[in-house]
Amino acid sequence: MRLVHVLLSYLIAGWSGFFVMAIELLGGRLMAPSFGSSIYVWGAIITVFMLALSLGYLAGGRWSMRAPSVRRLGLILMAAALTVAPLLAYGERLLDYVATAVPDPRFGSLLAASALFFVPTLLSGMVSPYAVRLLVQDRATSGRHAGQLYFVSTFGSAAGTLLTSFYLVLLMEVRTILLSMIAVSLGLGACAFFVGKAGDADR
């Protein structure tokens, strides 16, 4: 069971990296009709993602100190996916509203990016430090596990950037890509939750 938990931790970390970068790239496509695709828009998106990730790392590290489990890691992943769902229902209207209310493309795009992407990115940022806590069993191997985990997470980010920009946007609409990624996240999260539950029952 320990091996399964380790594999799930790495898989979730890699997928979370993919998920974040795909959302960031798609964010530019979502915001373009209302704000364009200028350097202001991309500056706003990158700022929001970096700030949200940094706070997510902090929150994930602190939450991992309280009875860490692969079940909770799965819940974090599912929560991040579910907070992307409002983009599908209200994203376009919210973007148009903000663009009208805040005509300055700098602050308007910053406000819109914060409203749409801050929460799911913060939750996604919690995944890696939480997964590190699950993997580390003693101080002697902590550096190795942390390095491997962040390698997998960053590799996932690179894959998400490349596949989304080179292929997915050519094959599917943005809405379909988002729905597919939400489904994968929910599936992985549910798997971690029920595997973790079975592991707890075996103790």
Ranges of residues in the chain whose predicted pLDDT is under 70? 1, 197-203
Contact 134, 13 (CB under 8 A): no
Q: pLDDT value at position 137?
A: 76
Domains within the chain, CATH numbers bracketed: 2-197 (1.20.1250)
Q: Give me the DSSP letters along the chain.
A: -HHHHHHHHHHHHHHHHHHHHHHHHHHHHHHHHHH-SSHHHHHHHHHHHHHHHHHHHHHHHHHTTSS--HHHHHHHHHHHHHTTHHHHHHHHHHHHHHHHH---HHHHHHHHHHHHHHHHHHHHHTHHHHHHHHH--SGGGHHHHHHHHHHHHHHHHHHHHHHIIIIIHHHS-HHHHHHHHHHHHHHHHHHHHHHHHHHHHH-
Q: pLDDT value at position 201?
A: 47
Q: pLDDT value at position 202?
A: 47
Q: pLDDT value at position 139?
A: 72
